[in-house]
């Protein structure tokens, strides 16, 4: 059955506030606030993000078609949906891409898989599905669960909109680039390692989608 929505254009950063899961997330120097000011304030890919994209022949001329804040994505298993901070649909030199943007300041990537997975049938089924998507067969307990479902956001939305490409982009405003090590470990596990900030990973094929990863090191937007 098709899904139908009512959508309204976000004219200014403050328009994002009413769409947040919890209103107290809207604070200066917190990720939701900084992302909204950085992206809506730029009216395009923010300059530090654009700098990363230009390093890739595929993404160097990327144009935003739509950028959807707090995008709710069905993970195709029972349980809660994933909510991408921004889901960007971009036109590339050839074809299109779905870009899942995860904003961070000092926030973590949530629980380790070993902490999240309590052995209940629903969580076991979801983890099995996500591991199949990510081509993970070895022990994943040391990895951060949030990175599993954020990557699924990018891949599933790419599939739904017939995009051949997906990008998982962490847009960090942390002076210390907190939790970068967790991102590195996850990208190594899925076969597309990011070893330094400001670079695009190589491609890995996830359920038919050409998927890459990147970490953007930025400063506070305002």
Give the pLDDT band of residue 8 (cuts 50, 70, 90). confident
Between residues 12 and 144, the one the model is more confident about: 144
Q: Are strands 165-172 and 96-104 parallel, antiparallel or unpaired?
A: parallel
> In percent, how much of the chain has pLDDT > 70?
93
Break the chain into its structural domains and give their ranges.
35-217
50-88: pLDDT as tens digits: 999 999 999 999 999 999 999 999 999 999 999 999 999
Look at residue 211 and tell me whether its pLDDT is greater than 80: yes
- Position 21 scores a pLDDT of 58
């Amino acid at each position: 059955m098709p899904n139908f929505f009512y959508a309204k254009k976000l004219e200014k950063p403050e328009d994002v506030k009413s769409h947040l899961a919890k209103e107290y997330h809207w604070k200066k120097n917190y990720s939701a606030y900084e992302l909204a000011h950085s992206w809506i304030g730029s009216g395009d890919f923010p300059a530090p993000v654009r700098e990363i994209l230009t390093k890739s022949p595929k993404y160097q001329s990327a144009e935003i078609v739509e950028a959807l804040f707090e995008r709710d994505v069905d993970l195709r298993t029972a349980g809660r949906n994933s909510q991408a901070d921004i889901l960007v649909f971009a036109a590339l030199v050839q074809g299109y891409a779905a870009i899942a943007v995860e904003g961070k300041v000092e926030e973590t990537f949530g629980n380790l898989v070993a902490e999240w997975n309590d052995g209940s049938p629903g969580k076991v089924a979801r983890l099995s599905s996500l591991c199949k998507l990510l081509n993970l067969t070895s022990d994943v307990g040391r990895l951060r669960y949030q990175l599993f479902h954020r990557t699924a956001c990018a891949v599933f939305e790419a599939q739904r909109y017939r995009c051949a490409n997906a990008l998982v982009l962490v847009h960090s405003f942390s002076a210390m680039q907190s939790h970068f090590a967790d991102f590195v470990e996850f990208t190594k596990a899925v076969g597309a390692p990011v070893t330094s900030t400001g670079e695009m990973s190589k491609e890995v094929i996830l359920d038919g989608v050409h998927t890459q990863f990147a970490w953007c090191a930025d400063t506070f937007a305002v």
